[in-house]
Amino acid sequence: MERRLPPKRASDSPVRSRQTRLPDAAEPVLEVEALSMDIHGVPVVRDVSFDVRAGEVFGLVGQSGSGKSLTALAVMRLAPGGAVTRGRVLLSGTDLTALSERRMCQTRGRDIGMIFQEPMTALNPLRSIGDQVAETLRVHGVASRSEALCVAREKLARVGLPQERFGLDRYPHELSGGQRQRVCIAMAIALRPRLLIADEPTTALDVTNQAEILKLLSDLAADEGMALVLITHDLAVVAGMASRVAVMHEGRVIDVDDTETLFCEASHPYTRDLLRDSLHQPSRRSGSGGTPVLEARNVIRDYAIRRRSLFGARRIHRAVDGVSLTIRQGESVGLVGESGCGKSTLARAVLGLDAMQDGMIQVDGVPVNLVRARMQAVFQDPYGSFNPRQRVGRLIAEPFHLTPLTKPVRHARVIEALEAVGLSAEDVDRYIHEFSGGQRQRIAIARAIVVRPRLVVLDEAVSALDVSIRARILDLLTDLQQRFRLSYLFISHDLEVVRSITDRVLVMHSGRIVEEGVTDRVLSAPEHPRTQELIAAAPRIPEEWLRAGIKAGKPDSDTP
Amino acid sequence: MIGYAFFRLVSLCASLAAASIVIFGVIEVIPGDPAAFMLGVSATDDAVAALRAELGLEGGVTARYFSWVGGMLVGDFGTSYTYRVPVSELVLARLQVSLPLTLYALALSTAVAIPVGLAAAARRGGTADYGIMAATQLGIAVPNFWFAMLLVLVFSIGLGWFGAGGFPGWEAGFWTGVKALTLPAVALALPQASILARIMRSSLLEVLGQDYMRTARAKGLSGRQAVVSHGLRNALIPVMTILGLQFSFLLAGAIIIENVFFLPGLGRLIFQGIIQRDLIVVESVVMLLVFAVIMVTYLVDLTYAAIDPRLRRSI
């Protein structure tokens, strides 16, 4: 029996392993052959074939519901209940679909590691991180408890959680999202698997963390000679990471090629649509030069932090530290920064939802808490922000408690708002679960504009949407802005979206605005180091690929 | 952890003080003259005055409250008016039945409910699951005194394995005592076990859907291993809450079962205290029960903190 546990990492240098592994790099580690999956009779994965070689990063891209995650779960044989899979999955020549469940358990974690999307919930909250990493070794019976903890310490250090700051006895709730994802990676690579599957590993993280995690993953694949399957909806992420890419749509792989070829030639119309939508620029007029709608001066917002001990001193965290900003009528202002920089806290203060410790926020010269109807908000999760037991008409009419209007006027306004966002008057009697994600976000926008506000705060409002839906929503927002002379405060971690829809941008760091200016100027020639870091961290599709791809797509793009 | 335990202890003392004020207030201050109430409408003024003196009702409210509380702190709960013995003696004798009975019933119910709930969750939607759900529904719906009488019919009168009622006292031997408490404990445990099994099932089902269970499977744990090493501890948190509530309920809420089996328990003591208007007994026993409930809640809180690291550092 082969013992895969490295006794000491030093004697097992990455250089050596690369040398020994490279000759068979041409041999595929994973071969998926005609894989199909039905869930309760509904086909969700259809005839999918691809292969991944050692040391290679293979991208699997597609929009939500395209079957990319289910393909990965089928490889792991962890498909949800009611699923029936057909086809073959070969791992170094062994057909996984033919293995007994016992053998499959020995394969998972040892030969295939997997990382999931949601690091906040992927770890057991009741067990320490050292314990959870060590479990990978313990469950495969390759190490004693003390040996396993020793390896856990090494692996955690390898993923950037050194022993001095992140002891093995730390618990998941003491770590941030990016740190937790590192723990998940340490668990997945503890036994140096041949294949690592990362399912949207950075989608829940901000750009800075995303860049670090992606760097870590590609380093690991190279150092350990692992094959890495990177599943993502983000074309820019695969552009920077993968050597080959498969595009999935409605359960099928519709295009698979070398990354550069795939982007530059964009031979499949669907790939071309994806590319175009991900770069979509709504045609909009600049909105600067109007009268000021929102004026914030020197806003300070503090949070009390829990005391360290019963008799410890009371501690305060200053989430927003002396921020001033002005938004004019018809203007879009972007607010960017890494997670925890105070963006959302500032947004809540602007909406008049929280009391400030100092400073003032005025709308049309009146303190914001007195004129709440002039400010509305759209948040990231369209489903979570609606009461599922109320009909759409009532949901949209919600902000009317802020205004004295008669019932017929309200009803007319609700219909008007629904039609403005591209839905129909009949939709007032339907429930929210009857709508798709994009339609729900339209309803959220209808709810925001129904009281004819002056300013709409869009807090990551398009972040959870697929690229094609996101492109349509950005068009809608632009259209509404021009029709109703709305002002937007647009909070997003996605710099491309900010570039496409805002006139000015504010960069926030540790509660302060560190840079502000015209969007194009700030994003193309950033001055502050924090802005530069943010822009450097954002994944991008190389310019020349885009030009080539768009050129390749040109003849086709005119025909509908 | 120690800071947490200490902080909870402080809030526990505050709850006890608040409870004592409410109980004292309701029973002694609000309904007018307790002595006249205890003696009924036909009592003479002299008799009422004599009782007032005996009960220590002379003097200010504050002084009386502190002498009551002070007495309890040193184990002096006053003297029962009807039994003419110290209340502490009465309560102690009754606790010898009620406390073992409660623990016995809880042990039975936990021993049955947790495996049953686990089995139902593991076979969600299967025949076993439907069977268990139907059985627990019945266990909750059937009145436990009826079930108790059924038990007596079958096991005492029919099979003759157990006595039909009464409690010989622990002097008669440990196993004799346990035997006398078995049928009542089973009758008490049935609805509690049914509730607990359902809580266990739904709590485990929720845990099974969590992301960390999928992570565990991806590490190579089998379904069973994942449940044992990641599912159970998480699923037990809501079960602990219900167990704490059930303990408090059973301690004094077993009155009907005590009557069916003719057991001298706490429930019957309160019941008799109320119908005989023995306010001293009622007041003291209620205070004692409040104390027991608060202590159990405290223990449950400490158990939470032992299970869940997120609670240890929070104050």
Write the pLDDT tens digit of every residue in A274-298: 888 887 888 877 766 788 899 999 9
- B211 and A116: CB-CB below 8 Å? yes
**Residue, of A238 and A383, whose pLDDT is higher:** A238
Calculate the CA dihedral of residues B264, B268, B270, B272 and round it to 10 degrees.
Answer: -100
Q: What are phi and psi of A192, to 5 degrees?
A: 50, 65
- A173 and B309: CB-CB below 8 Å? yes
B11 vs A: CB within 8 A: no
- A113 and B220: CB-CB below 8 Å? no
Closest CA relative to residue A105, chosen from B91, B208, B226: B226
Residues of A in contact with B221 (CB under 8 A): 105, 109, 135, 139
Percent of chain B with pLDDT over 90: 14
Q: Is A58 left (phi over 0), alpha (psi -120 to 50) or beta?
A: beta
CA-CA distance, A366 to B188, in Å (whole number)?
65
Percent of chain A with pLDDT over 70: 91
Parallel, antiparallel, or unpaired for β A315-328 and A332-336?
unpaired
- A125 and B314: CB-CB below 8 Å? no
pLDDT at B200 over 90: yes
Q: How far is B223 from chain A (nearest CA, A)?
A: 9
pLDDT at A41: 86
b vs e for A445-479, b when ≥16 Cβ sit within 10 Å of the residue's Cβ?
A: bbbbbbbbbbbbbbbbbbbbbbbbbbbbbbbbbbb
Give residue-wise pLDDT tens across range B233-269: 899 888 988 888 888 888 877 888 888 888 888 888 8
- A78 and B230: CB-CB below 8 Å? no
User: Helix, strand, coil % (nearest 5) of chain A?
Assistant: 40, 25, 35
Count Cβ atoms below 10 Å from residue A375 Cβ, excluding itself: 27
The residues facing A249 across adjacent strands are A252
Percent of chain B with pLDDT over 70: 92
Q: What are phi and psi of A518, to 5 degrees?
A: -60, 135
CA-CA distance, A209 to A225, in Å (whole number)?
24
Reported confidence tier of residue A46, pLDDT bands at 50, 70, 90: very high
* 3-state SS assignment for residue A503: coil
Inter-residue long-range contacts of A164-168, CB under 8 Å, 24+ positions, other chains counted: A166/A129, A167/A130, A168/A128, A168/A129, A168/A130, A168/A131, A168/A133, A168/A134
This prediction has a pTM of 0.81
Residue with tokens 């690579």: A189
A4 vs B: CB within 8 A: no
Contacts of B53 (CB under 8 A, 6+ apart): none
Residues of A in contact with B234 (CB under 8 A): 124-126
pLDDT at B81 over 80: no
> What spatial distance separates the first Cα and last Cα of chain B, rounded to whole Å?
10
pLDDT at B29: 64
CA-CA distance, A374 to A318, in Å (whole number)?
27
Residue type, A213: I
Residue type, A485: R
Residues of A in contact with B218 (CB under 8 A): 76, 78, 108-109, 113-114, 116, 188
A24 vs B: CB within 8 A: no
99-118 of A, contacting B, C-beta below 8 A: 101-102, 105-110, 113-114, 116, 118
Residues of B in contact with A135 (CB under 8 A): 216, 219, 221, 229
Average pLDDT score over residue span B127-135: 89
> What spatial distance separates the first Cα and last Cα of chain A, rounded to whole Å?
60
DSSP state of A166: S
Residues of A in contact with B212 (CB under 8 A): 121-125
Give residue-wise pLDDT tens across range A94-107: 899 999 999 999 99
Task: Answer whether B200's CB lies under 8 Å from B295's CB.
Answer: no
- Would you state the structure tokens that stand for residue B251, as one six-digit string? 């301690």
Interface test with A, best of B11, B210, B219, B312 (most A CBs within 10 A): B219
pLDDT at A25 over 90: no
* 3-state SS assignment for residue A232: strand
A248 vs B: CB within 8 A: no
Task: Answer whether A460's CB lies under 8 Å from A493's CB.
Answer: yes
Of A140, A173, A309, the CB nearest to B3: A309
Reported confidence tier of residue A553, pLDDT bands at 50, 70, 90: low
A181 vs B: CB within 8 A: no
Residues of B in contact with A133 (CB under 8 A): none
20-59 of B, contacting A, C-beta below 8 A: none
CA-CA distance, A248 to A258, in Å (whole number)?
15
pLDDT at A14 over 50: no
Contacts of A424 (CB under 8 A, 6+ apart): A418
Reported confidence tier of residue A365, pLDDT bands at 50, 70, 90: confident
Task: Answer whether A495's CB lies under 8 Å from A534's CB.
Answer: yes
Q: What are phi and psi of B47, to 5 degrees?
A: -60, -45
Task: Answer whether A423's CB lies under 8 Å from A439's CB.
Answer: yes
Task: Answer whether A66's CB lies under 8 Å from A254's CB.
Answer: no
- A310 and B214: CB-CB below 8 Å? no
pLDDT at B127: 85
Task: Calculate helix-pair angle for B266-275, B87-122, nearest 10 degrees.
Answer: 130
- A121 and B315: CB-CB below 8 Å? no
Question: Which of A321-325, A348-352, B311-315 shows the lowest mean pLDDT across its residues?
Answer: B311-315
A128 vs B: CB within 8 A: yes
CA-CA distance, A550 to A266, in Å (whole number)?
8
Interface test with B, best of A131, A139, A142, A308 (most B CBs within 10 A): A139
Q: How far is B96 from chain A (nearest CA, A)?
A: 38
Closest chain B CA to residue A74:
B218
CA-CA distance, B170 to B177, in Å (whole number)?
6
- A105 and B6: CB-CB below 8 Å? no
Closest CA relative to residue A116, chosen from A205, A46, A45: A205
Closest CA relative to residue A113, chosen from A143, A148, A75, A142: A75
- A135 and B212: CB-CB below 8 Å? no
- B218 and A188: CB-CB below 8 Å? yes
- B220 and A140: CB-CB below 8 Å? yes
pLDDT at A4: 47
Q: Is B264 left (phi over 0), alpha (psi -120 to 50) or beta?
A: beta
Task: Answer whether A137's CB lies under 8 Å from A174's CB.
Answer: no
Reported confidence tier of residue B76, pLDDT bands at 50, 70, 90: confident
pLDDT at A72 over 90: yes
Residues of A in contact with B214 (CB under 8 A): 78, 116, 122
pLDDT at A405: 81
DSSP state of A371: -
pLDDT at B271: 85
Task: Answer whether A297's CB lies under 8 Å from A318's CB.
Answer: no
A250 vs B: CB within 8 A: no
